[in-house]
Chain A
Amino acid sequence: MEKQRVLVVDDDREIVNAIAINLQNEGYEVLKAYDGLQALDIISTQNIQLIILDVMMPKLDGLSATLKIREEKNIPIIILSAKSEDTDKILGLSMGADDYVTKPFNTMELMARVKSQLRRYLRLGDVNVTNRANLLQSGGLCFDLESHTLTVDGEPVRLTATETKIMELLMRFPGRIFPAEEIYERVWEEPAYKVENTVMVHIRRIREKIEINPKEPKYLKVVWGIGYKIEKI
């Protein structure tokens, strides 16, 4: 199988090198760029499957580069940024990036995200073919209503019966916030009394199964003081 090619863009050469070594260890072919314009050059001339892009760069910053790339290509972009505010993340994702990793990052986490994005990108064709009405989707999450199975970026996830019910409920209404009581009543089908703990335990377990970094969940989120939701992506 042909090696997948990843473009790493950062004005800090050492960071680029470190990421490159890790990617090569994982079996990817790595291309390097040190500013936005260079990156655009490489993208237009080479066949690339994924881009890791820093935001604060000379000549052309990461966000503008993302916009330019999205004009033509659909390849996954992981934004790498020292900015860790929610607003920065939302901005990056809305510009067309697929994932957002804050510096300083955990290498393992970054690799997992790279893998996940590539899997999704490369199987995109399959997903499109199998796109049916009984499939619930949010970003890389995909819940099959027929088989009651959940896949994350194409990888199946093993869930217990209760966890499956919870995910089905939340995936039916992405973005809607469910208080613990409602989740309990609809999943356990019993009157809810002091259920916050029970629901939270399940949510936490599901998060550990579907999220790359459960501490900074991408899909299954706690809305503090209100309830739980699946992010609508």
Chain B
Amino acid sequence: MDIKLKKSKPFAAWLCFFLAVSIMIGLLISVFSVFWHSGGNWEALKAPFIDYKNSTVFKQRTADYYGQLFSLVADPSSQDTDSMEITKSVLDNEGANLKYYGVNKNNNFLVQNITPEPSSLSDSGKTPALPSGYSYCWYFDGEKLRVIDHGKEIDMQRLDSGYQRIFHGYIYDLTPKYLSNVRVVLAVKDNLVKNPYAHSKYYGEQQFLAIMGWIYIGLLVLGLLLLVLAIINRPSKREFDRKLASWSNRMWLEVKILLALLVLVFFGVFGFNYYPGWGAPVAQVLGVTFISCILIACFWWFYLMLIDLIVNGKNFFTPNSINSLLTWYRKYEKRYTWQKSMLKRAYMLVGVEAVLALISVIFVLTGSSGGTLLLALLIAGAGIYLIYRYLKRYDETLSDLGKLMDHIGLIKNGDMETHLEVAEDADIYPAVQNLNSIQEGMGTAVTEKMKSERMKIVLITNVSHDLKTPLTSIISYVDLLNKEEGLPEHVNDYIRILTQKSEHLKNLIQDLFDLSKASSNNLALDMEKIDLARLVKQTLADMEEPITASGLTFRINIPDEPVYIISDGKKLYRVLENLIMNTLKYSLSGSRVFVDLTVDSKEVTATIKNTANYEMTFDEDEILQRFVRGDKSRSSEGSGLGLSIAQTFTEVCGGKFFIKIDGDLFKVELRFETESEN
């Protein structure tokens, strides 16, 4: 969750920034457009925040209604039934919000929705008496148009009256003499109400402006809030900027420029040429929103280009079509010859086939004559031939690859002699050459290895012979000395030591020889099916004398039925003999030695456990190191190779050898796969 938040933080910060700026631009554009279209009148901007009756919008609308009414009353040429109906229906849409009365005494034309007629209309210069609840009115008294609000006349000539640009001069197109008999009153209800029968524009506008005011304020607050958030999280925002830059830097420069131009064109066409006019307010808002969106999109596009330029610097210009083409070509150049030639063949096939297709299309389009059919056939033939050539070459390469695979398999299986032959112009010729030399190298290495193995055997045999020959002399002459009589006692002591040590040396050499033969896999094995249970019993019986002499108690747990394994009995006897000799040598006197044989479905495990008569300060691996002896003092006889030989012999005889030390408990395990009885 934390990580997710952390990851999304730059985006969130950037989104704040984006929304804040977009909202600000949108607000700015709408303010500007309202200002612009209201002819530079700041009053229009105030509309949502002041009483609707005082707003320019209201005055404008009233002027519009009044103008229509006045034209109808004053101009006899428009006093046919249709015009009267249209004007009346426009005014009646307002329902109770509008009361009007118009009279032209020149031709006795009367239009009204007030009854009875306001009594005071005949005298010029007097304020007409209005029905209660209607204290705002426009009134033409035959000389002058007045606007009366709550009984007071408004001076419409003043700049701050709000009527400066609203009053239309067409009222005075008619001669004053004629107009002196015209009276027109239009009164607006104090509390505007909804007309249940038609759409009241007054009421609608009042509601709309009220909502718009709140929306504008809300957006402004939201925008500022987001802007503050974005400013607080500047570093995160910049991080996302960089991300955007790296994304935009993948675009070709041409695309960037083209899009920038498109954006500019859009901006020019819609931003400057769009004039919403004075239709319904909703349509105006939609228009403004549309322009805003375009302008905002323009802004962000250039913003993106800007951060791209700032972050990537010179690299802003690098990703372009020419560079891409160059890169692609360089990559192509770097390929191996065979890759190039395969690619080239594929490109050429596609290219030539395309040209042939084009030619045939042209021929078909330019109409047919006698020769065209022949030509078409020729072209088709050439195309098919090309495909055939290509496929043939492809097939050759595939079969060469197959040969290569086979050859690799051959080398894996140890064939170092056969070399792979392919045509010199084959695609994979260099690879084949390399493989052949690898094979040669490996062949040499294998031969060397075998030679050195043979050398090792010869060496072991020779060293063994060379050690044994002088030792034979030593033992023989020591033996002769032993037979001498009348020697001083101390000389006899020396001779005894010589006898002991030469015997020790003999055992050591024999063990060493056996071990080196076994571990270099030069031991002659005689593997056959033997009964491991019997072998353990035989060994224990064979060693009965030393076992009895040791005073140790042997607890033997071996199944009565045979346990068959495939192994070399004589070698395994040596293993067991070594292990038991070990326990006899290193067991705590009077303790028990456990010899177990356990069989499960696949494996038989022979275990020998004894309690050491010294502290075992080594671990399982150390004790198996050659020449390490249990007590480390090396005072006793033996080569110190016993366990090593046991391990090596067990392993060459197909078993596994484990040692476990747990306190004073020393445990050896031999594991073998069991063989069925047959």
Contact = CB atoms under 8 A, between A and B. Distances in A.
Given A12-B472, A85-B524, A224 B538 contact: yes
Interface stretch (A31-39, A148-156, A193-201): A193-201
A22 to B, nearest CB: 7
A200 B541 contact: yes
A125 interface: no
B542 interface: yes
A111 B138 CA distance: 159
A129 B531 CA distance: 44
A127 interface: no
A224 B480 contact: no
Contacts of B534: 179-180, 196, 225-227
Given A103-B469, A226-B530, A226-B534, A21 B480 contact: yes
Contacts of B540: 197
Interface string B462-473: 001100110111
B479, B535, B538, B569: residue with the most chain A Cβ atoms closer than 10 Å: B538
B570 interface: yes
Contact of A196 (B465, B474, B475, B541): B541
Contact of A18 (B471, B480, B526): B480
A14 interface: yes
Contacts of B473: 12, 14-15, 18
Interface string B504-542: 001000100100000000001010001110110111111
Contacts of A25: 483
A16 to B, nearest CB: 10
A207 to B, nearest CB: 10
A118 to B, nearest CB: 20
B315 interface: no
A19 interface: yes
A225 B532 contact: yes
A145 interface: no
Nearest to B571: A224
B572 interface: yes
Contacts of B475: 104-107
A48 interface: no
Given A15-B472, A226-B531, A104 B560 contact: no
Nearest to B567: A225
A139 B479 CA distance: 30
A197 B471 contact: no
B477 A82 contact: no
Contacts of B506: 104
A104 B471 contact: yes
B530 A224 contact: yes
Given A196-B534, A204-B542, A225 B472 contact: no
B461 to A, nearest CB: 8
A162 interface: no
A105 B510 CA distance: 12
B51 interface: no
Interface in A185-212: 194, 196-197, 199-201, 204
Given A15-B473, A83-B461, A107-B479, 10 more contacts: A12-B472, A14-B476, A86-B524, A103-B469, A197-B537, A197-B541, A223-B569, A225-B531, A225-B567, A226-B534
Interface of A: 12, 14-15, 18-19, 21-22, 25, 56, 82-87, 103-108, 179-180, 194, 196-197, 199-201, 204, 222-227
16 contacts: A12-B472, A15-B472, A21-B480, A25-B483, A82-B464, A87-B524, A106-B475, A107-B475, A108-B479, A196-B537, A196-B541, A201-B544, A223-B569, A224-B572, A225-B572, A227-B534
Complex A-B, nearest 6 residue pairs according to Cβ-Cβ distance, in ascending order: A225-B530, A224-B569, A200-B541, A18-B476, A225-B535, A196-B537
